[in-house]
Amino acid sequence: MSTRYGRPGVLRALAASLAALIVVSVAGCGTTTSSGGEVTLKTIWMKQAGYSETEIQAMTDAFTAANPNIKVDLEFVQYEALHDKIVQAQINGDGLYDTVLMDTPWPAEFADAQIASDITDKIPADFKSGVFDSAFTAASYKGKIWGVPWINDTKFFFYNKKMLAAAGITTAPKTWDDVLAAAQAVKDKGIVEFPLVWSWVQAEAVICDWAEIAGVMGGADFIDDQGNATFNTGGGLAALEFMKKTVDDGLTNPASLGFTEVDVNNTIAAGQAAMGLNWTFGYNVLNDKANSTVAGDIAVVAAPGTASTPTAGVNGGMSIAVTTKSKHPAEALKLALWMASQPMQEKYDANTFPMWKASFENTTLTSVNPEFWAAASSAFAGLVARPIVPYYTKLSSALQVAIQEALKGTKTPKEALDEVAAELPTLSK
């Protein structure tokens, strides 16, 4: 015998189910409202390096105080998640952010993907003339400007004065050959087993070191105007061969192939390495007595060069892009220019150098640490960019693997880079 149910019961069950579905499907959907002409800008920043979260909060608080009708929502993510989060948020739907933080290699991609808007004609003349020219390489693509330069950073050369002095070296290494000689002397004296430590993990960090060294070993023109690879013949190849030599000579800590910049800091801070490249934030970490056993022994200079090129620094700058989907582009640009203004940059200079040329003439600022300001001044004058192509993320991933294969010795530097060069047509598809 089959059970039979009344129609109202069935309809009620269906109605309840549909209602539940509707509730489930709309749950989580939110709306934004504004009232009284008040504008709220949604912005995304990164957690580590550069300005701290507290500093960014203070800068935007000051902006809101000066512009009471513009509120700023801040969202902080790890650098590793920043690019992917921006792309997914801005390409799908209406776009979430009014401003996004843009790293040096991204302008080409963000411009082609219509994430960042062209602000070439909206940058004030005094801003253009006031900051280092190289700062704009972090925001330029096809002769246009896609973001307001904000952080000017590069990898500096940190060394342990005490260790080098114990090996008979009393002046800072000026060339990469000097670095090799100093490292060999430190190793021969048994001061540390591996004098050099690097951030050569399979990540963007290894590309930065490679590009910086390439900048003085024949130039860092990685791709020519026709889109063909040049990184496998000139400075790129010479830099990788140099890196491999430091491994073969037993001067580089082999763990470097898994190290990030934080590991480089930790290794030098623990007194287990004598020299290494790192961003500006390394200085405070290495000279912090609470966390570093070598605090006070660490000196910093601009990255070493060669006989013909005194120094080159990889452009690690970042800019603030106004998104194409922003409903308040004028207010967003106003915020970006505020964050990059000379007063803000000079006020919050603990972890990041200003990019304003005049700041380097201000002895009130530079007298705090003249050695580091001098290093920054010479490094910022000649920054080199990583390859500027719209398919940079794919190219960088392929280069990371190639560089690691060469350092490991499974391929020669030439073979490894040639393979990536041959892949370019596929990568750019």
Partner 1 sequence: MSEAALARPRQTRQRKQWPESWVAAAFVAPAALIIVLIVLVPLGRALWMSLFNIQLTRPGVEPFVGLGNYIDQLASGNFWGSVGRALFFTVVSTALELLLGLALALLMDQPLRGRWLLRTIIILPWALPTIVNALMWRWIDNAEYGSLNALLTQTGIIGHYQPWLSNSDTAMWMVILADVWKLTPLVAVLLLAGLQSVDREVVEVARVDGAGSWQTFRLILLPLITPVILIVLVLRTMEAFKVFDLIWIMTHGGPANSTQSVAIYAYQTAYQGFDFGRGAALGYLIALVIMVLAAVYLRLLGRVGQT
Which residues form the interface with partner 1 (CB under 8 A)?
2-7, 10, 13-14, 17-18, 20-21, 84, 87-88, 91, 109, 112-114, 193, 201-203, 253-259, 263, 266-267, 270, 272, 390, 393-394, 397, 400-401, 404-405, 408, 410, 426, 429
Structure tokens at 95: 């776009």
Q: Residue 101: enclosing H or E segment and its boundaries?
A: strand 99-103
Rounded to whole angstroms, the Cα distance separating 137 from 270 reads 36
Rounded to whole angstroms, the Cα distance separating 380 from 134 reads 7
Q: Give the nearest distance from C-beta 214 to partner 1 in angstroms.
A: 20
Rounded to whole angstroms, the Cα distance separating 219 from 236 reads 8
Rounded to whole angstroms, the Cα distance separating 189 from 169 reads 12
Rounded to whole angstroms, the Cα distance separating 67 from 72 reads 10
Nearest to 151 by CA among 289, 242, 16, 49: 49
Q: What angle do CA 324, 326, 327 make, to 5 degrees?
A: 130
Nearest to 73 by CA among 84, 60, 85, 86: 60
Nearest to 304 by CA among 174, 159, 156: 174
What per-residue string of b and e applies to 211-242 under the rule 16 or more CB within 10 Å gives b?
bbbbbbbbbbbbbeeeeebbbbebbbbbbbbb
Which one-letter DSSP state was computed for residue 315? -
Rounded to whole angstroms, the Cα distance separating 51 from 46 reads 9
Please state the length of the chain: 429
